[in-house]
Structure 1
Amino acid sequence: MKTAIIYATSRGTTEKAAQILCKELQGDITLINLKKEKSIDLAHYQGIILGSSIHAGMVQGKMKKFIKAHEKELHSKQLGLFICCMFEEERARQQFELAYPEHLRTSAIASGMFGGEFDFTKMNFFERFIVKKVDKNATDISTLSEVEIKKFAKIFKECITTV
């Protein structure tokens, strides 16, 4: 099955997650960065995985626009959804629910919350200021979970082979 992993990233964490996911899924997988690709024809793909980072509680604007433009077509695909964020458990679940419309979440065969990263070298002054204001001891940190990515890949592969 031909699958596209379509993602929106600002500092590279979601791209890193998408690349790990691509290796786990194997097969005919295309990685598509919404920052670089303007026009995407979903007709070539049976499986679609959407992934986005979360900033200030919001999904990337490019992902919102993509979903709005392709909402109908996404329902006809084997769909997977993931986010990269710094929250865990219930707060991560809340951000996931805000990131994707309910009708897509309920039709998705796999969903995941992969963790996130703070890399101060990739942040601008304002972003560093906000993060340090919220967390006085803020330092570079990664909670990106290969375990969660592998779990997502396993579920996605199992679901597409039973269809």
Structure 2
Amino acid sequence: MKSLIVYCSTHGTTAKAAHLLRKQIEGEVIAINLDKTKLHSDLELFDSVMIGGSIHAGSIQGKIKKFMKEHEDVLQRKNLGLFLCCMREGLEEHTQFENAFPHNLWEAAIAKGLFGGEFIFSKMNFFEKIIAKSVSGSVEEISHLDLKSINQFASAFNRNNKYLPV
């Protein structure tokens, strides 16, 4: 099995989560940060694809949206996993998660995960700091990266990841 993890990471949290996940997925796994690298591989080379991002100003990164739109037909034929890093909790977190991904990909996913988030003030610009402070009530760096959720996602993905003939 050959798997691809495609993600965007504004301040590094989603990159941490993607690399933790990569270590737990069975088979050959390649992780690509669309913020730093353009995808040069044909998605047909992969049996499965995992897509991850984070929420900023209520939306997932534009490069992730563009990737999903450009490759939607291929993604629907793959073993697909979706994950999100965000600092919201409860119903708001789940609503952001569902709204971040197209409905047809959401329905097709064999694994979905909410991996928590972090406020890393040292990597934020002025406006991001104001928003993070209003959300958290603090200017201290906060990490709520959910390792248990990453482990559960990996287990579900490995269990449901089946060879799909082309």
TM-score tier by shorter-chain length is: over 0.9
Per the TM alignment, residue 134 of structure 1 is displaced from its structure 2 partner at its CA by 3.8
2:113 matched residue in structure 1: 112
Runs of 4+, deviation exceeding 3 Å = 133-136
Q: Equivalent residue for 2:35?
A: 35
Partner of 2:17: 17
Residues 26, 158 of structure 2: 8 Å contact kept: no
Identity of aligned residues (%): 47
State TM-score, norm by structure 1: 0.94
Where do 5+ consecutive residues of structure 2 fail to align?
A: none
Residues 121 and 139 in structure 2, CA contact (< 8 A), matched pair in contact too: no
> Within 5 Å, which residues of 2 pair with 1:66-145?
66-145=67-146
- When normalised by structure 2's length, the TM-score is 0.93
Q: Which secondary structure state, in structure 1, belongs to the residue aligned with residue 20 of structure 2? A: helix
Amino acid at match of 1:160: N
Aligned-residue offset at 1:130 = 2.2
In the alignment, which residue of structure 2 is the partner of 1:2?
2
Change (3 A) 1:134 1:160: closer
Contact 2:47 2:163 (C-alpha < 8 Å) held by counterparts: no
Shift of 1:161: 4.7
Give the superposition deviation at 1:162: 8.2
Q: Deviations over 1:116-163 (max 9, x none)?
A: 000110101111122223443342101111100000000000001587
Query: Which segments of 5 or more consecutive residues in structure 1 lack a partner in the other structure?
Result: none
> 1:92 & 1:133 partners in 2: Cα distance?
17
Say whether residues 1:64 and 2:65 are aligned partners: yes
Structure 2 CA distance for aligned equivalents of residues 34 and 97 of structure 1: 21
Q: Distance in 2 between matches of 1:119 and 1:3?
A: 29
Bigger drift between 56-65 and 39-48 goes to 39-48
Q: CA deviation at 1:24?
A: 1.1
Q: In the comparison of the two structures, how many residue pairs are matched?
A: 163
Give the counterpart letter for 1:11 in structure 2: H
Amino acid at match of 1:33: N
* One-letter amino acid matched to 1:87: R
Q: Is the 8 A contact 2:32 2:39 kept in 1?
A: no
